[in-house]
Amino acid sequence: MKSKNAMTAIGVKEFICMIQGAIRKVKEEHALLSRLDAAIGDGDHGVTMLRAMNLSEKAVAADKSSDLQGLLYNLGWTLLGIDGGSTGPLLGTWFLGMSEFAGNRQVLDVQTLAATFEAGLAAVMKQTKAQVGDKTMIDALLPAVEALKTGAAANHGIAETLRAAANAAHQGALSTKGFKARFGKAKFAGERTVGHQDPGATSISLMFQGFAEGLADQ
C-alpha cells in the first residue's frame, strides 16, 4: 500500500477533501485576514473570506454532480457572486478556469493537477493586470502554481507537490510586506502599505495550506 506521500492520482473525493481543508483553514484564520486588511484597507477582507468559505461549504455539501468539472463549476459560480470588492469575482474565476480545464477528467495525476491549477491562474490573469510585486493574490497564486508545475515535471507525489505549493504561496504572501500596493483600495494608501502583508495573498496561502492538509487528512 502506497503512502500518501507517494500518492500519484486523486479523484473527486480527494479534491473535495482538499477544498474542505481550504475552507477550514480560512475560517480558522479569518480574523487574521481582517487585521491585515485593517492595516492597508477597510478591514473587511476576513469577513468577505469567511462568507466565501461558508457559501463554499454549502455548495460542496449540496453538489450532486459527482464529477470534478461540475464541482469546480458550482464552486466558481458560488464565489463569483460574493460582494466585497474583487475577492469573490477573482476566486470564482479561479475555480471556473480550473473547471473548464478539468473537462471530463475524473482522475488527476500530478501533471494534470498542476495543469488544472495553471488553467485557473490563466483565467485570473485575464481578469486582472496585477503581476508579482503588485501586492495582490497573484503574489501567492503564481508561485504556488509554479511549484505545482515543478513538482509535476519531477514526477513527485501529489501530497509532496501540494506541500511545496503551500510553502511557495506562504513565501509569496510574506514577500508582499516589501511591496507597495498598486491595486484595490490599498493602492490609495501608497507607501504606507510597505511593511504590511497583503491579505489577498495571505488568503491564497491559507487555501493552499488547506489543500495540502485536507488531502493529508483524508
**pLDDT single digits (tens) 103-147:** 999 999 999 999 999 999 999 999 999 999 999 999 999 999 999
Residue 93 has what pLDDT?
Answer: 97
pLDDT band at 185 (very low <50, low <70, confident <90, very high): confident
pTM of the model as a whole: 0.94
User: Residue 25: its pLDDT value, please?
Assistant: 98
Minimum mean pLDDT range among 118-122, 186-190, 214-218: 186-190
Q: Using 50, 70 and 90 to split pLDDT, how confident is the model at 1?
A: very low
Mean pLDDT of 153-179: 97
Q: Using pLDDT thresholds of 50, 70 and 90, give the confidence band for residue 4.
A: low
Residue 5 has pLDDT above 70, yes or no: no
| Dihedrals phi, psi of 10, to nearest 5 degrees | -135, 155
Q: What is the mean pLDDT of the chain?
A: 93
Q: How confident is the model at residue 189 (pLDDT cuts 50, 70, 90)?
A: confident
Nearest Cα residue to 96 out of 88, 106, 107: 88
* Cell 507517494 found at: 6
Q: Give me the percent of the chain exceeding a pLDDT of 70.
A: 97
**pLDDT score of 218 more than 90:** no
pLDDT for the residue 64: 81
* Residues linked to residue 11 through DSSP beta bridges, in sequence order: 107
User: Is the pLDDT assigned to residue 48 strictly greater than 90?
Assistant: yes
